[in-house]
């Protein structure tokens, strides 16, 4: 509004009219917020007309509630997450969002209903369903021996900033109780530190307070600082008691090698997986120490089953996990678009029988910037043992330094293992074992698996089929991926001081030839029958072929027929073919590189054999 003030001055020479215009004054309103959410007007500085009324709207982010709105330090009334504020001068408005508290309650007989969620210092009303009996909340009138359910409401007050570790709760009885009524409460909440208080004006006296039946109240604000806090998370997720949108570590946690129950588990609902962890776990750079699982169960690790989860930023130290299928230090089974990042696993022993990984056992999703390391004196161990426990398909395979098994999925993302590191680690499986990944299965070519920028050093990769109970002959041991079904893209990966070795029992000529050209650094073959290599067999070092071959004849006869030992170009041969414990052997062999060693430690009959250089040893190994 513009106000015009007309002032007339009469001067001797005439009339002078002066018009002065005044504009309504403006005030400055500064809006700020604490916690996560959105505010309207937005955070910042705004100009409003003086004495105008503005509506402040607050929308909490997921996992948050509006705690309050203050104007110049004073709280104002809030209705439906908004407040009406009259601004008569420069004004500071602060909107505070806080982590919400969810309350879970269970009655073993009647059940309860718990409205929510709740903010700090909220009053929570827990309504028992009203059944009468010794297993429920009960009011007994001794004069008439009648039972009533008037006292069926409990009020709980949550303490400031409660979390998984503690819940300070005050309970009070309410209801229209007649004078002289004696109250007995059973099946009440069980956490320690609960105080029962009664209104003296109701003339009530307490006969007994028992907690023989389990009813639990868990207060959640997302922050965890103790081992019991982590165990409570597992209980809440695994029983479906409460949705856990996020978990934040506040300090290092020592699990003290006590038997651990993984967070999240499978269910008969294999599609929705209601008991899987599907939230965000942010370690904030803290450590989780001395994780121990020895049950031999499937889907085990710090987390058992996760779906579309985000797990990041912590160190696991001194891990011992013995499971069945889908076993990892961090996650047993990750599904769909799960992301695991920036997790450092140190000094781990992870043993299972199928899908075993240093970080994740069975994976859909991504793993980035994770490490698995031991020390030069004490390597970490990741191992699969055939049919250790679990189901019949668990055959001691699919073991990887980072992930045991990767399966891509029909999601708009690249399934990748990138910027990860494996060092000072021993990897052992019956077959399908790799320095990074044990096995990749590509089910959708539109969403390829990317392996980029990983480092593997001082790692021993061994496929051991010396107890050939399944008839496998292709051990699939490799520095990067043990076995591949489909395609993947590998870029910028480096390997140093890493050795692959296969140990296999064979009982056919074709199997022997395949193993001798397996491509591993070392091959140990044990014969279970007399064998003869076919004419034209070529044992090479370099590329896909093998550096050192040791054949244990196991007192069987091996015939090498025109077998050539040669070298690929630009590869230092340095190879060795060692034959031990053979019976009478017919041999026709040529060596095309004089730095190769063919060492016979057995009774040998050689025909048409030419050596550029030979050293004869007696029976005690002297020249």
Q: 3-class secondary structure for 198-246? A: CCHHHCCEEEEECCCCCECCEECCCEECCHHHHHHHHHHHHHCCCCCCE
How large is the average pLDDT for residues 543-560?
65
Residue 145 falls inside a structural domain: yes
Residue 224 falls inside a structural domain: no
Q: Is the pLDDT score of 51 beyond 60?
A: yes
User: Quick one: 93 and 113 in the same domain?
Assistant: no
Helices (H) and strands (E) in the chain, counts: 2, 57
Could you tell me the two tokens for 92?
């500071």
User: Quick one: 79 and 180 in the same domain?
Assistant: no
User: Quick one: 491 and 373 in the same domain?
Assistant: yes
Among 44, 76, 97, the domain boundary falls at 97
578: confidence class by pLDDT, cuts 50, 70, 90: low
Q: Is the pLDDT score of 109 beyond 70?
A: no
Could you tell me the two tokens for 147?
């039972």
User: Quick one: 497 and 511 in the same domain?
Assistant: no
User: Quick one: 586 and 492 in the same domain?
Assistant: no
**How many angstroms separate the Cα of 69 from the Cα of each of 38, 79, 96, 407?**
13, 11, 6, 49
User: Quick one: 411 and 441 in the same domain?
Assistant: yes
226: confidence class by pLDDT, cuts 50, 70, 90: confident
Residue 238 falls inside a structural domain: no
33-37, 65-69, 112-116: which has the minimum mean pLDDT? Answer: 112-116
pLDDT at 230: 87
Could you tell me the two tokens for 582?
């053979």
Among 97, 117, 134, the domain boundary falls at 97
Among 449, 473, 503, the domain boundary falls at 503
pLDDT at 301: 97
268-282, 466-480, 595-609: which has the minimum mean pLDDT? Answer: 595-609
User: Quick one: 373 and 466 in the same domain?
Assistant: yes
CATH code of residue 310: 2.160.20.110
Question: Helical H runs in 487-595?
Answer: 509-516
CA distance 201 to 198: 9
How large is the average pLDDT for residues 100-105?
48
- pTM, two decimals, is 0.61
Residue range 72-86, pLDDT digits in tens: 999 999 998 999 999
Tell me the pairing of strands 449-452 and 397-400: unpaired
Residue 379 falls inside a structural domain: yes
pLDDT at 241: 65
pLDDT at 24: 61
Q: Which domain holds residue 209?
A: 103-218
Domain total of the chain: 4
User: Quick one: 533 and 480 in the same domain?
Assistant: no
Residue 109 falls inside a structural domain: yes
User: Quick one: 341 and 486 in the same domain?
Assistant: yes
Q: Is the pLDDT score of 122 beyond 50?
A: no
Length, in residues, of the chain: 623
Residue 615 falls inside a structural domain: yes
- Give the up-direction half-sphere exposure of residue 332: CA atoms within 13 A in the CB hemisphere: 30
pLDDT at 234: 87
Give the percent of the chain with pLDDT over 90.
29
524: confidence class by pLDDT, cuts 50, 70, 90: confident
pLDDT at 568: 34
User: Quick one: 115 and 79 in the same domain?
Assistant: no
Q: Is the pLDDT score of 584 beyond 90?
A: no
Using CB atoms within 10 Å of the CB of residue 382, give its burial: 0 to 12 exposed, 13 to 18 middle, 19+ buried.
buried
pLDDT at 193: 30
CA distance 419 to 399: 19
387: confidence class by pLDDT, cuts 50, 70, 90: low
How large is the average pLDDT for residues 277-285?
93
Residue 11 falls inside a structural domain: no
Q: Is the pLDDT score of 161 beyond 50?
A: no
User: Quick one: 381 and 471 in the same domain?
Assistant: yes
Residue 159 falls inside a structural domain: yes
User: Quick one: 327 and 406 in the same domain?
Assistant: yes
Of residues 157 and 578, which shows the higher confidence score? Answer: 578
Q: Chain-centre distance of CA 493, in angstroms? A: 24
Helix (H, G, I), strand (E, B) or coil at 512: helix
How large is the average pLDDT for residues 419-447?
86
Q: Is the pLDDT score of 261 beyond 90?
A: yes
Closest alpha carbon to 95 in 61, 125, 141:
61
Residue range 585-607, pLDDT digits in tens: 444 444 333 344 455 544 454 54
- Top-ranked range on mean pLDDT: pick from 146-150, 476-480, 530-534: 476-480
CA distance 519 to 57: 66
């Amino acid at each position: 509004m513009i106000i015009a003030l007309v002032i007339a001055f009469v001067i001797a020479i005439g009339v002078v009219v002066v018009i002065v215009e005044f504009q309504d004054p403006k005030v400055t309103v500064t809006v700020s917020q604490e916690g996560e959410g959105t505010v309207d007007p937005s955070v910042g500085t705004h100009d409003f007309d003086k004495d105008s009324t503005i509506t402040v709207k607050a929308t909490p982010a997921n996992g948050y509630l509006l705690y309050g709105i203050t104007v110049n330090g004073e709280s104002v009334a809030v209705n439906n997450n908004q407040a009406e504020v009259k601004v008569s001068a420069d004004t500071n408005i602060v909107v505070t969002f806080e982590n919400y508290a969810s309350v879970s309650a269970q009655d073993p007989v009647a059940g309860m209903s718990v409205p929510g969620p709740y903010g700090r210092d909220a009053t929570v009303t827990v309504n028992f369903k009203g059944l009468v009996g010794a297993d429920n909340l009960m009011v007994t009138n001794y004069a008439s021996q009648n039972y009533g359910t008037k006292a069926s409401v409990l009020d709980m007050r949550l303490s400031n900033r409660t979390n998984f570790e503690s819940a300070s709760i005050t309970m009070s009885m309410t209801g229209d109780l007649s004078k002289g009524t004696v109250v007995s409460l059973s099946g009440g909440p069980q956490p320690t530190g609960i105080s029962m208080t009664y209104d003296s004006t109701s003339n009530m006296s307490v006969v007994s307070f028992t907690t023989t039946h389990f009813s639990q109240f868990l207060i959640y604000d997302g922050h965890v600082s103790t081992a019991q806090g982590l165990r409570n998370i597992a209980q809440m997720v695994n029983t479906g008691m409460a949705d856990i949108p996020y978990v934040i570590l506040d300090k290092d946690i020592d699990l003290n090698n006590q038997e651990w129950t993984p967070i999240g588990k499978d269910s008969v609902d294999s599609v929705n997986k209601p008991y899987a962890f599907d939230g965000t776990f942010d370690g904030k750079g803290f450590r989780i120490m001395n994780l121990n699982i020895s049950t031999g169960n499937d889907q085990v690790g710090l987390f058992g089953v996760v779906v579309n989860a985000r797990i990041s930023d912590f160190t696991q130290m001194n891990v011992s996990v013995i499971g069945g299928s889908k076993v990892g230090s961090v996650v047993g089974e990750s599904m769909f678009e799960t992301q695991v990042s920036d997790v450092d696993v140190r000094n781990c022993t992870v043993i299972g029988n199928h899908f075993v990984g240093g970080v994740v056992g069975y994976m859909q999703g991504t793993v980035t910037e994770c490490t698995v390391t031991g020390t030069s004196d004490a390597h970490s161990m990741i191992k699969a043992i055939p049919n250790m426990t679990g189901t019949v398909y668990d055959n001691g395979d699919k073991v990887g330094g980072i992930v045991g098994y990767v399966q891509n999925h029909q999601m708009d993302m690249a399934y990748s293992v990138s910027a990860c590191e494996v060092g000072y680690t021993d990897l052992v499986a019956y077959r399908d074992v790799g320095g990074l990944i044990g096995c990749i299965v590509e089910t959708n070519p539109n969403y390829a698996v990317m392996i980029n920028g990983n480092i593997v050093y001082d790692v021993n990769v061994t496929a051991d089929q010396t107890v050939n109970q399944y008839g496998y002959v292709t051990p699939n041991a490799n520095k990067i991926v043990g076995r591949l079904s489909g395609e993947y893209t590998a870029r910028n990966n480096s390997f140093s001081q890493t050795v692959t070795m296969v140990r296999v029992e064979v009982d056919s000529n074709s199997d022997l030839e395949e193993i001798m050209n397996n491509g591993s650094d070392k091959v140990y073959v044990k014969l279970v029958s007399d064998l003869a290599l076919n004419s034209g067999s070529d044992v090479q070092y370099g590329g896909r072929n093998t550096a050192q071959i040791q054949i244990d004849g196991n007192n069987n006869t091996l015939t090498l027929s025109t077998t050539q030992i040669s070298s690929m170009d630009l590869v230092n041969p340095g190879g060795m073919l060692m034959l031990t414990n053979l019976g009478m052997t017919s041999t026709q062999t040529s060596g095309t590189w004089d730095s190769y060693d063919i060492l016979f430690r057995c009774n040998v009959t050689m025909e048409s054999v030419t050596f550029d250089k030979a050293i004869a040893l007696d029976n005690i190994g002297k020249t």
